[in-house]
Every structure is written in C-alpha cells, then in structure tokens.
Homo-oligomer: A and B are copies of this chain.
C-alpha cells in the first residue's frame, strides 16, 4: 500500500534499461505521448483562438479522439488500451487544482453579491434536475429493456447527469460585458459540481431498499451537514495559511516558501476533507476564496504574481489533460464491444438521457428565475428571458465529472460486461462527446445572438481557460463598487430590497475590525520592502 504513484505497478526503469522490459517502455511511452499531445493542444488551441466555433476544450477532445483512433488503427482494431479513464487520477490529482483555482481567482464581490441566486440554481436546481432525470430514466428505460438496473442505479444516473460542465460557456461569455450572467453561470458550476458529487456519494452510502420519511430526513440532514462542515474546513485551513504566513514570515519573506506553503495547504484542505468524509470540492473552493482574500495579501509581490499565474497554469493544464483524456478513452474498443449487439439500445438510452437533461434543466432554470425576479423590485435586477435561455444553455454540457461518476457507479465493480452497465458507460461517453462538441460548437454563435454585447469578447492574450476572464484583478473597479454600492441601509425597506448588500456591509465591518487585523488582507499587511502601501495592485509591473 505505497504512497500515490509509488503504488504504480507498471515498473519503470531508467533509460538504457527500458529496452529490456516491455512494460516499462509502454509506461514512458504513454507519458511521452501524453505530454507531447498536451503541448500540441496548447499550440493548436492558440491558433484556433479567434475561430468562431472552436474552443480549447473541443480542440483537446478532438485531438484526443484522433489519437485514440490512430492507436486503435495501429493496433489493428485490437485495442486502444494505452490509456484508461481513471477516476482516482481525476478526483485526487486533476480536479482539486481546477476547483481551487476557481475559488482563488473568482471575483469575490460579484460572487457573494449573487450568492442567493447561485445557491438557488446550484443546489436547489441540481436537486430538481436530479429528481427529473432519475424519475424519467426509471420510467422510460423500462421500455428499452436494458439489463436490470436497480433503484440505486437510477438515482445514480440522476446525479451523474446533473453534474454540468460550464467551461465551454464560460469561455465564450465576457465577464465585463455581462458580469451578472457570468458570475451566476460560474458560481452555479462550482456549487453544482459539489452538489452532484455529494448527492452521488450519499446515494451510494444509503441503503435505499426501504425508503421512509425518516431516512429521507436523515439524508437531507447529512447533506446539509456536509455542506456546512466542508465549507468551514476550507475556511479554517485558508485562515491558518494566512495566519502562518503573516506571523512567521514577518520581516523575512521568502517567495518560494510562501508559494510552496500556499500550494501545499490548499491541497491539504482537499485531502483532509476527503479523509474526514466531507466534500473536498467545496472545501478547496472556499479555501481558495479565503486564501485570495487574506493569504495572498500577506506575501511578497513576486509571490502574488507567481501564485496568480502558477495556479491558473496548473488548472489550465489539468483541464486540457482531462479533455484529452476523455477523448482518448472514448474510443476504447472493449466497452463498445458489449454494446455492438444492440446499438439501438445504447443510442436510445443516450437520446432519452439527453432529452431528460435538457428538460430537467429547463424545469428549474425558468421557474427559479421567475421566483428570483419576484423578489427584485428594480427592473434592471431581473433576469431577462434571453439571460434565462443563456443560463439554461450553459448547463447543458456534460464533462469529466459525469464520466468519473459513471465509471465509479458502473465500471468499478469490474462488471462492464453486464449489458446494463456497458450501456450506461457508452451512453455517458456519447452524451459527454455529443454535448461538448455539438452544444459546445453552437455556444459561441448562440450567445453572440442572445447577448450581442458578449460573445465576441475573446481577449487575446490569455488562455481561455475556466478561470481566464477572472484572472485580471481590477482594483479600480472594485474600489468604485465598494464605495458606491455598499452603503449603510437607511430604512427597513431598503434592507429588504438589497439584502446581499446589507449583509455585505456588516461583513465588511466585521472583516475590518476583527478578521483582517488577525489574518492580514488588503490594507492590513505587514510592511513588505519595496511595496510601500502593501496593496495588491500590480501597477508596478509592466
């Protein structure tokens, strides 16, 4: 039971020895191929940056598919088993940096201002979608006669296909032109990831053979506890990092140590959450938010630049890696073999699920938007119909989270050979490929049409990653917002109209009086040589 890669069974040896051992060669082979392809994706993605249709995810997916096809062809159609989708790799190594970076780079003010809408869509909406997909699948799959799936399987299907992948849409949306839509789609994506994974785990854990109201209540209780404790753990680890760097490094900052500590503590928060049976995704997301609010201000200017870009880079590589990986794995012949007897069933299941997920999403986006609009007095605060369609569309894509959950449910017990399981795996792959490529390709034109001010907004000069448009800090804008929008509520009516702003006002007060003096943060940083005001602006950097 070695540590991580130390348990890797494929033994690798150095250079000249590799020739003596077939297995080694294949292993170094795979790494070389993969790293080379990643470089290729980045270069090709850069070329296609200004294309109207393509984006980096689709590019990686296509390159992955082509490579998988080539391997399949070279091996004479026998196998493309050089790579295999691996949920451990995904959940332990690739997902944490992406989610952490999302938290680290998110524009916190915008995120928290829209937190109610975000939670509504991300948590409540995901539950509605989960219910509809589970119920629909249970009703409709019976007619297709695909293997014997149990109640737990149907519930898992609901959770699997409720996990959206809004990367494609975020790459197209322009944060500055449409800040509201952007922050809702972005925030919903993160909360949705966490909700669907927590839901999926809860389903696997609970004995669902006898469902009664007590178990249902217990389920809801667990769910909420998990949400709260995971968030708290992330906040605590984030604050701890801020405190350590503020106290220990005072007067003798060290860029490499600071960056190392931030990286390691972020990852620590994730694995701790996993160890304590919490949701690592929520934990690491909030750890990222806290780190960027406190810790980031306590480090040197060089550390600030390095962390901003190093975290974004690692997240960018992980994302490209995932799409490439999914693309390469999709063609693996073994799983398709079992389905080839009944291609109609697999296609039918995919079509049904695709229909259900579109329906499931529509069933909460429009009603919840209506609900949200009812509480808003100002016309400008309401969610327009075109914006509702955009939000609906943004959540139609399915990605790596769905893949990983599907593998966990239907492939881990080693019986893809059961027809029902094989069909579910191939359907998941079909839906991920179809939604990412077809819906993904339609996203740019659709959004250009729906929101004319956005869509064209491809800032050349930064990779269009999940977090790309969040990268540049805008201290100027931030400052303006904090002075104009956050004012003391003068009446009770106003407090109801702008509850988020009121909460924000008291939070600011608390933050300035207690949190920042203890943990650092903008304006409360120990003196850093060369940075006279200790502010996070990067104006000194060309």
- List residues of A whose CB falls within 8 A of some B CB: 1-20, 23, 25-32, 34-36, 38-39, 42-43, 45-47, 49, 81-89, 91-93, 197-198, 200-202, 204-205, 226, 244, 248-249, 252-257, 259-261, 263-265, 267-268, 271-275, 277-280, 301-303, 305-306, 308-310, 312-313, 316-317, 320, 408, 412, 460-463, 465, 468, 471, 528-532, 540-542
Cβ distance A464 to chain B, nearest Cβ, rounded Å: 9
Q: Is there contact, CB below 8 Å, between A88 and B8?
A: yes
Q: Is there contact, CB below 8 Å, between A256 and B463?
A: yes
Q: Is there contact, CB below 8 Å, between A261 and B88?
A: no
Q: Is there contact, CB below 8 Å, between B264 and A42?
A: yes
Chain B residues with Cβ under 8 A from A278's Cβ?
15
Q: Is there contact, CB below 8 Å, between B9 and A277?
A: no
Instruction: Please tell me which one of the listed residues B83, B530, B542 contacts residue A529 in the complex, with CB atoms under 8 A apart.
Output: B542
Whose C-beta in chain B lies nearest to the C-beta of A85? Answer: B6
Chain B residues with Cβ under 8 A from A462's Cβ?
254-257
Chain B residues with Cβ under 8 A from A43's Cβ?
244, 248, 261
A-B pairs, top 6 by smallest CB distance, nearest first, are A530-B542, A6-B86, A306-B309, A252-B460, A16-B201, A310-B310
Copies held by the complex: 2
Alpha-carbon separation in the docked complex, A281 to B108 (Å): 43
Q: Is there contact, CB below 8 Å, between B317 and A263?
A: yes
Q: Is there contact, CB below 8 Å, between B302 and A28?
A: no
Alpha-carbon separation in the docked complex, A241 to B306 (Å): 21
Q: Is there contact, CB below 8 Å, between A92 and B31?
A: yes
Instruction: Please tell me which one of the listed residues B34, B256, B461 contacts residue A253 in the complex, with CB atoms under 8 A apart.
Output: B461
Instruction: Please tell me which one of the listed residues B8, B81, B204 contacts residue A4 in the complex, with CB atoms under 8 A apart.
Output: B8
Whose C-beta in chain B lies nearest to the C-beta of A200? Answer: B14
Q: Is there contact, CB below 8 Å, between A14 and B197?
A: yes
Alpha-carbon separation in the docked complex, A275 to B29 (Å): 6
Chain B residues with Cβ under 8 A from A313's Cβ?
255-256, 259-260, 263, 306, 310
Q: Is there contact, CB below 8 Å, between A275 and B23?
A: no
Cβ distance A304 to chain B, nearest Cβ, rounded Å: 9
Cβ distance A375 to chain B, nearest Cβ, rounded Å: 34
Cβ distance A471 to chain B, nearest Cβ, rounded Å: 8
Alpha-carbon separation in the docked complex, A20 to B205 (Å): 9
Q: Is there contact, CB below 8 Å, between A271 and B1?
A: no
A204-B16, A263-B317 known; A541+B302 contact, CB < 8 A: yes
Q: Is there contact, CB below 8 Å, between A3 and B86?
A: yes
Q: Is there contact, CB below 8 Å, between A317 and B264?
A: yes
Q: Is there contact, CB below 8 Å, between A8 and B11?
A: no
Chain B residues with Cβ under 8 A from A18's Cβ?
274-275, 277
A310-B313, A541-B302 known; A1+B10 contact, CB < 8 A: yes
Chain B residues with Cβ under 8 A from A92's Cβ?
5, 12, 28, 31
Q: Is there contact, CB below 8 Å, between A254 and B463?
A: yes
